[in-house]
């Protein structure tokens, strides 16, 4: 749930156990690293969810919340795991990064991205529609 400080989501850990994992290996990532949000229900009896993979990309926030709550926090979901393209040198390209870059240019109505991969590097071709 989000508090009055609007600085991330406080986690209800009495009911749900949250993890952020590497989507490829399933292993937990370091504290402030982004990965796939996974949760386990702790109080459901009829149909519990165990390490339910949401497909959402986010990370934990470790700095204290301005609202002074001690509850652990998660940052806002930055997109879907399936919408991440891993380029050479482990750079991750997301739809939100592309949208931010394209939306900063006035007059563009839509765009299309094509990725051409070679052994040495990846080429991005962006076609814009005005």
**What is the spatial distance between Cα 13 and Cα 86, in angstroms, rounded to a whole number?**
32
Q: Is 89 left (phi over 0), alpha (psi -120 to 50) or beta?
A: left
pLDDT of 29: 95
pLDDT of 9: 93
CA of 103: how far to CAs of 77, 96, 121, in Å? 19, 10, 26
Please list the rounded mean pLDDT of every run of 10 residues in the chain (130 residues).
90 94 92 92 92 94 93 89 77 81 88 85 85
pLDDT of 116: 86
pLDDT of 78: 82
Phi, psi of 98 (to 5 degrees): -65, -45
Determine whether domain 9-80 maps to CATH 3.40.30. no
**What is the spatial distance between Cα 3 and Cα 21, in angstroms, rounded to a whole number?**
25
């Amino acid at each position: 749930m989000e508090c009055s400080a609007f600085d991330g989501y406080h986690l209800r850990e009495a009911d749900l156990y949250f993890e952020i994992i590497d989507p490829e290996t399933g292993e937990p990532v370091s504290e402030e690293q982004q990965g796939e949000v996974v949760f386990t229900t702790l109080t459901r009896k009829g149909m519990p969810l165990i390490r339910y993979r949401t497909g959402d990309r986010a990370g934990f926030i470790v700095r204290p919340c301005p609202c002074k709550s001690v509850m652990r926090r998660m940052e806002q979901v930055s997109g879907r795991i399936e919408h991440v393209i891993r380029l050479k040198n482990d750079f991750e390209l997301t739809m939100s990064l592309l949208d931010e870059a394209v939306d900063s240019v006035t007059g563009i109505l839509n765009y299309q991205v094509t990725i051409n991969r070679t052994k040495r590097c990846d080429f991005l071709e962006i076609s814009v529609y005005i």
